[in-house]
Structure 1
Amino acid sequence: MSEEPRRVLAQGTFDLLHPGHLHYLSEAAEHGDELHVIVSRGGNVTHKPSPTCPDRQRRDVVAALSVVDEAHLGHTEDYFVPVAEIDPDVIVLGFDQHHDEEAIRDTLHERGLDAEVVRATGRDPQYEEEMLSTNEMIRKLLEERG
C-alpha cells in the first residue's frame, strides 16, 4: 500500500509575479510532494492595495507554474474553507506575509486540522535592478509609462 502524498499549502495575492514569488513557491514545494496554492480574492486583500489583475487571471498564472500542482481561489468569507478542503500536511507562509503563525495554528487546532505551519525564507536580489516586490514593479511602471 502506498503512502499518501505530503500536501503543502502556500497562499498569497500573486498580483504581478516576480522572482520573490517564484522563490517562495519553490521553497514551499520542497516541504512535500504536492504544492497547492490559494490565491487570495481581491476583495479579501485589506492589508495592502487591491490587486491590479483579476482573481481568476492571478490563479491561472500561478497554476501555470511547473512547481504548482494545483491553484485555488480563496473563499470569499473564510480563509480556512479551502484549507480544510486541501487538508495540507504543511502550510508555508511567505517570509514577509502579515499572518500570525500562532493564530493560524490555533485556528487549525480548533477546526480539527493537523498541519505544520512554517515560514519561508526571504530572497535577496540577484542583480542590481532585479525587482522582488509588486509595489516596486508598479511604481517603476508608473514612473516610466504613467
Structure 2
Amino acid sequence: MTERAEPTRVVAQGTFDLLHPGHVQYLREAATFGDELHVIVARCSNITHKDPPIVPGHQRREVVDAIDAVDEAHLGHESDIFVPIERIDPAVIVLGYDQHHDEADVAASLEERGIDCRVERAGPREQQHQDELLSTGRIIDRILERRG
C-alpha cells in the first residue's frame, strides 16, 4: 500500500471587513499555492493598524468560509496571532498584496517559533470597471458620501 502525502496547507489572513472582489482575488490566488486553503480572520482585538471592523468577527469568518477557494476559515486567537498558524501547520503563508506585514519580519517570527513555512505575497487585482471599489475604506467612504 502506498502512503498518501499530506496535503500542502496554505494560510491566508486578514480582516475581511465588507468583503469585496479584491478579497476574493487574494483568496483565489492564495489557494493556488497548495491543496488546502485555511483563512484566519482577524479578531477585532488584534487589529491595531487601522479602524476596527464594522462587521463582527464571527460574521466575517462565516462569509469568508463561503468563498469557493476557501477550505476552512478560522477566527484568529485573541492574544497570539501565531496560535492558529501553529495548529494549522501550513507549508505557505500568503500575504495580501497591500497588507502592512513585511515578508522578512513574518518569516523571522515564524522561524523564532519553530514554524517551518515560506512566506509569499499575492498580487493585486486589476480594476475591472471604472467604478469598482477594491478597498473596505473606499466602500465605507462611498456609503458615508451617499448616506451619511
- Normalising by structure 2, report the TM-score: 0.96
**RMSD of aligned C-alpha atoms?**
0.7
* 5+ long unaligned stretches in structure 1: none
Give the match's secondary structure for 1:143: helix
Q: How does 1:1-146 map to 2 (within 5 A)?
A: 1-146=3-148
Larger CA deviation: 66-75 vs 104-113: 104-113
Pairwise CA distance, 1:134:
0.3
Task: Find the aligned partners of 2:66 and 2:57 in 1 and give their Cα distance.
Answer: 14
Give the match's secondary structure for 2:67: coil
Pairwise CA distance, 1:136:
0.4
Task: Find the aligned partners of 2:45 and 2:110 in 1 and give their Cα distance.
Answer: 23
Give the match's secondary structure for 2:13: strand
Matching residue's letter, 1:10 = A
Matching residue's letter, 1:58 = R
Query: Deviating runs (4+, > 6 A) in structure 1?
Result: none
Task: Find the aligned partners of 1:43 and 1:106 in 2 and give their Cα distance.
Answer: 23
Identical positions, percent: 60
Give the match's secondary structure for 1:72: strand
Pairwise CA distance, 1:100:
1.6
Matching residue's letter, 1:63 = D
Task: Find the aligned partners of 1:22 and 1:65 in 2 and give their Cα distance.
Answer: 7
Deviations 1:3-53 (A, max 9, x none): 110000000000000010001000000000000000000121111110000
Matching residue's letter, 1:60 = E
* 5+ long unaligned stretches in structure 2: none
Task: Find the aligned partners of 1:137 and 1:113 in 2 and give their Cα distance.
Answer: 36
Deviations 1:58-92 (A, max 9, x none): 00100111110000011111110100000000000
Pairwise CA distance, 1:131:
0.5
- Number of corresponding residues: 146
Give the match's secondary structure for 2:125: coil
Task: Find the aligned partners of 1:79 and 1:44 in 2 and give their Cα distance.
Answer: 8
